A and B are shown apart, each in its own frame.
Chain A
Amino acid sequence: MSDTSLIDELPGELLMWVLIISELLVFGAGLIAFMAVRLTDPAGFAEAQSHLYRTGAAFNTAVLVTSGYLAAQALNWRKVARRGAARLALIGAALLGVMFLIIKGVEYTGKAAQGITFETHPFFMFYYLLTGFHAAHVLAGVGILLLVAWRDDARNIEAGAQFWHMVDLVWIMLFPVIYLLG
């Protein structure tokens, strides 16, 4: 059966790919909606964006990409039976995920201190919605990374790394559009 063989060639879990595509559709649609609403009020969006903490977000990008690198390395090491190194890399990746969340938390607290909420401006509604939804995935990802560090079958690690790279990828889309786009 030729059409199933294409699906069989996919590395990792099929259902993880279904999840990844679904997530990309959701975040993609969210970003398109953000851009569309931005067209209706460019000045207001620019003003609102100036309140964001760009340096922290840029640093967070580095944190998340490094974490993704560690998750990828973990799979490589597990494949050559370096279980200890793989586990350490996964725990390291999870810790960097926690660091991302702490920086994000500082950012949110800062916004809250300025009295900025969902209702302040459409920009901030999307900001909280998209980055908050992403942060929830980071939290879930930390749990998954620790889970596959414990149950460290290579297929489990691969599925965990797949999820984590998706979380990475989504951030790489969110960061320029929300924080940088002038």
Chain B
Amino acid sequence: MKYESQKIAYAYFAVAMGLFAIQVIGGLIAGWIYVSPNFLSELLPFNIVRMLHTNALIVWLILGFFGAAYFLIPEEAEREIHSPMLAYLQLIILVVGTLGVVLTYTFNLFEGNWLLGKEGREFLEQPKWVKAGIVVAALIFLYNVSMTVLKGKKTAITNILLLGLWGLALLFLFAFYNPGNLSLDKQYWWYVVHLWVEGVWELIMASILAYLMLKLTGVDREVVEKWLYVIVAAALFSGILGTGHHYYWIGTPAYWQWIGSIFSSLEVIPFFAMMAFAFVMVWKGRRDHPNKAALLWSLGCATLAFFGAGVWGFLHTLHGVNYYTHGTQITAAHGHLAFYGAYVCLNLAIFSYAMPILKNRDPYNQVMNMGSFWLMTSGMVFMTFVLTFGGTVQTHMQRVVGDYFMDVQDQIAIFYWMRFGSGVVVVLGALLFIYSVWVPRKEIIEPGAAETPAE
């Protein structure tokens, strides 16, 4: 660690990993409710479990991005973070806000209160005071990192990262408007979450990947930057109008079907480019970095993002297909692998890279961490296949044949059982990851053991 203020990332990563554990356990409970629908139905209804699962995901990913920014910006800008105190204040605000959301939502506190109560939405559901807190935290963050970069060295990586983070913060402002109309409510939710994941988060992803490639492979900065610009251009070109693929069936004019279909099909390109980028850098790189776990997560991120976001997204993005598959388990399959590949793996890659440095633990090769990669990834890929096949059967029975929703759910129960099984594997993998990052001391396995003669 070259700069003292990089330590800030440690606190962010710790909270992020705590929420990660909560998120996957929430997912496991939701998966169990699918096979045993009355489980916890009084105490923790499905809609609340689902909210915990999705919102904890978003919050920990964003905390991971913030931590990544605090970790890599000092190195890129070659100076300390403007104000570490503000960075910790920002984290405290976000943690208090998160607790506020969970408690308010779970126990329905202050019902009907404009400032303190729920807003009655399916998504973007935070009490107003939490929303305001998020904005304050975001402003603190943007001020802090922008000041650092403005006073320090400007690189393509920090420029793109800041562009992404500014976009992230500004787009959240759409969450303040709570329309009475349910279609419009969805529309504003897309303005936030989908302009994030199909737009500005891709910039964050590309810049963090570029940073990791720079450190892990030792390829020239010039080469990395050229790739970065191309990826970012392709992401913004396709991603913004690509979110039009959500507007097919909510009462918007029919031309959205074509705008959404065409532009969202092109969203495969930046993800393909990121995968090509990661592998080309590794092939070209001359540096043999000892942190193989971070490299594994980086390559896994680029590959699984291409399949989860790119291929599985394309699978049901054309409106002729989506007419049948909309909101079936096909959507769930895409959602799981896309978030896991693009943003979960990205965060776990930067955690794997940064944590040994932050905890002063090198040399390292983190075999246990790599084991958690294969465990989590195989669980998630299996889950994706299961949901895809289940979703295909569901689409046919429910949307083509016209059977009743609940009859079809009974018919595809076997897929939900298998999904629960794969969920168990993912949770074990996640817990193993957290354990491997926090607990073991110096860990190194000498290379070359395999070449020793057998006699």
Q: Which of A4, A15, A18, A129 contacts B259 (CB 8 A)?
A: A129
Q: Is A119 an interface residue (CB 8 A)?
A: yes
Chain B residues within an 8 Å CB radius of A172:
none
- Interface pick from B227-235, B329-337, B419-427: B227-235
The residue in chain B whose Cβ has the minimal distance to the Cβ of A130 is: B258
- Check A33 against B262 for contact (C-beta < 8 Å): yes
Distance, CA A14 to CA B222, complexed state (A): 14
- Check B230 against A15 for contact (C-beta < 8 Å): yes
Number of interface residues of B (CB under 8 A): 20
Given A1-B284, A14-B230, CB of A22 within 8 Å of CB of B258: no
**Min CB gap B356→A, angstroms:** 31
- Check B237 against A22 for contact (C-beta < 8 Å): yes
Distance, CA A26 to CA B265, complexed state (A): 10
Chain B residues within an 8 Å CB radius of A7:
226
The residue in chain B whose Cβ has the minimal distance to the Cβ of A132 is: B255
Cβ < 8 Å to A, chain B residues 225-272: 226, 229-230, 233-234, 237-238, 253-255, 258-259, 261-263, 265-266, 269
Given A4-B223, A118-B254, CB of A19 within 8 Å of CB of B266: no
- Check A22 against B266 for contact (C-beta < 8 Å): yes
Chain A residues within an 8 Å CB radius of B265:
29
The residue in chain A whose Cβ has the minimal distance to the Cβ of B318 is: A33
Distance, CA A25 to CA B259, complexed state (A): 13
**Min CB gap B2→A, angstroms:** 29
Given A118-B255, A125-B254, CB of A29 within 8 Å of CB of B262: yes
The residue in chain A whose Cβ has the minimal distance to the Cβ of B238 is: A22
Distance, CA A1 to CA B226, complexed state (A): 14
Chain B residues within an 8 Å CB radius of A18:
230, 233-234, 237
Interface residues of chain B, those whose CB is within 8 Å of chain A, are 223, 226, 229-230, 233-234, 237-238, 253-255, 258-259, 261-263, 265-266, 269, 284
Apart from A15-B233, A129-B259, what are 12 other A-B pairs with CB-CB below 8 Å?
Answer: A4-B226, A14-B230, A15-B230, A18-B230, A18-B234, A19-B233, A22-B234, A22-B238, A33-B261, A119-B253, A119-B254, A129-B255
Interface residues of chain A, those whose CB is within 8 Å of chain B, are 1, 4, 7, 14-15, 18-19, 22, 25-26, 29-30, 33, 118-119, 125-126, 128-129
A-B contacts, 24 of them at CB < 8 A, read: A4-B226, A14-B226, A14-B229, A15-B229, A15-B230, A18-B233, A22-B233, A22-B234, A25-B266, A26-B262, A26-B266, A29-B262, A30-B258, A33-B258, A33-B261, A118-B253, A118-B254, A119-B253, A119-B254, A125-B254, A125-B255, A129-B255, A129-B258, A129-B259
